Amino acid sequence: MSANIYLIYNPVSGQGDAAAERSRIEQLLGEKLNLTVLETTPEESAEQLTEQAIAQGAEGVVASGGDGTVSAVAGKLVGTGLPLGIIPRGTANAIAAAFGISDNIDNACTTILEGIPRKIDVGSCNGKPLLLLAGIGLEAEVISQANRQLKNKLGAAAYILSAFQQVRELDPFSAVIETPDRIISFDASGITVANAAPPTSVLAQGPSDVVPFDGLLDITIFAPEGAGSAIAASYNLFQTAMNRRSSKREDIGYFRCSALTIKTDTLQKVVLDGEMIGETPIEIRCIPEGLVLMTPKEGTFDPPEKLEGLPNLKIQHK
């Protein structure tokens, strides 16, 4: 990362000692960077502080907090070319996990100092930034029912407990998805639109791999009937993530597109990057290479191309 860096720090994220964690981050990054710390408050949001950092000449921004904080900061950096660093301190830390960023503070700081800046796609969902995924139906219910008190007590296990409960109470709905080239109608219990997704985001794992730099969104449709089939389908999606092979089940559908709208016959809750944002309908589009993210040297994703190292390599751009 460049020298003049702003840290957007959410002190209420996670269950650790916020003051001690901030001190450690300042120690690690402050040795090599000109670091300015802006701390979120009920009056000053992560979005507002990121705008302030940009206005004051930041050459890069680090977000430290949960997925909501990271998504908020990232949304303000889209299209600026300024690199984003992530120091995850939340409950799930799904965004960091999707890009191979450690939830250990020391390791995350190493990625910021020594990692690789990579251009990644981002999405826009009803005008809000989408780094990971938007979930309708089952995914949203799981997040909604895992309340803050339960998350503080159980951590990420709160989502697992909520998932088991929601699978037993499947509530199918009818949906219509419109893309630039077709209209698709179906019944389902859940729809997930992903830009990137760690293996733990099970309901996003219909395709063999969710790639965050292909200019496309990955849609998974979850449509099992009954709790038994839902559990089997969920396990199948988990295997899909582990083996990088697309699902073959008839009650799971998937496809890719650059933009879409989703309407449902009954209002369905919508979760965006771990935060509840309202109800259907939703409109999502992909912004190719919209964000620069600091990623570990040993990346999680294979690059879309590799030419470096070829004998007598010359590249002429048209």
Tens digits of residue pLDDT in 70-86 = 999 999 999 999 999 99
With respect to residue 307, please indicate whether it lies within any of the assigned structural domains.
no
With respect to residue 314, please indicate whether it lies within any of the assigned structural domains.
no
Collapsing DSSP states into helix, strand and coil, what is residue 3?
A: coil
Domain end call among 51, 79, 114: 114
Residue 175 has what pLDDT? 93
With respect to residue 302, please indicate whether it lies within any of the assigned structural domains.
no
pLDDT single digits (tens) 87-112: 999 887 889 988 999 999 999 999 99
My answer on whether 103 and 143 are in the same domain is no
My answer on whether 153 and 245 are in the same domain is yes
pLDDT single digits (tens) 113-168: 999 999 999 999 999 999 999 999 887 776 666 554 455 554 554 555 555 566 65
pLDDT single digits (tens) 204-228: 776 767 789 999 999 988 887 877 7
Interval 24-40 mean pLDDT: 96
Cβ-proximal residues to 267 (8 Å cutoff; 6+ apart), any chain: 279, 280
Residue 32 has what pLDDT? 93
Residue 50 has what pLDDT? 98
Q: How many domains does the chain have?
A: 2
Q: What is the mean pLDDT of the chain?
A: 85
Cβ-proximal residues to 260 (8 Å cutoff; 6+ apart), any chain: 177, 178, 179, 193, 217, 219, 283, 284, 285
**Structural contact between residues 61 and 50, judged by C-beta atoms closer than 8 angstroms:** yes
Residue 162 has what pLDDT? 52
Q: Which residues of 33-68 are buried (b: 16+ CB within 10 A; e: fewer)?
A: bebbbbebeeeeebbbbbebbeeeebebbbbbbbbb
Residue 224 has what pLDDT? 79
pTM: predicted TM-score of the whole model, two decimal places:
0.83
Top pLDDT among 240 and 269 is at 269
My answer on whether 66 and 134 are in the same domain is no
My answer on whether 147 and 53 are in the same domain is no
∠ CA 243-249-254, rounded to 5°: 80
Q: Which two three-digit tokens encode residue 80?
A: 């600026």
**Structural contact between residues 139 and 193, judged by C-beta atoms closer than 8 angstroms:** no
My answer on whether 177 and 265 are in the same domain is yes
Minimum mean pLDDT range among 39-53, 151-165, 232-246, 250-264 = 151-165
**Structural contact between residues 194 and 216, judged by C-beta atoms closer than 8 angstroms:** no
My answer on whether 150 and 50 are in the same domain is no
Residue 154 has what pLDDT? 47
Range of 166's domain? 129-288
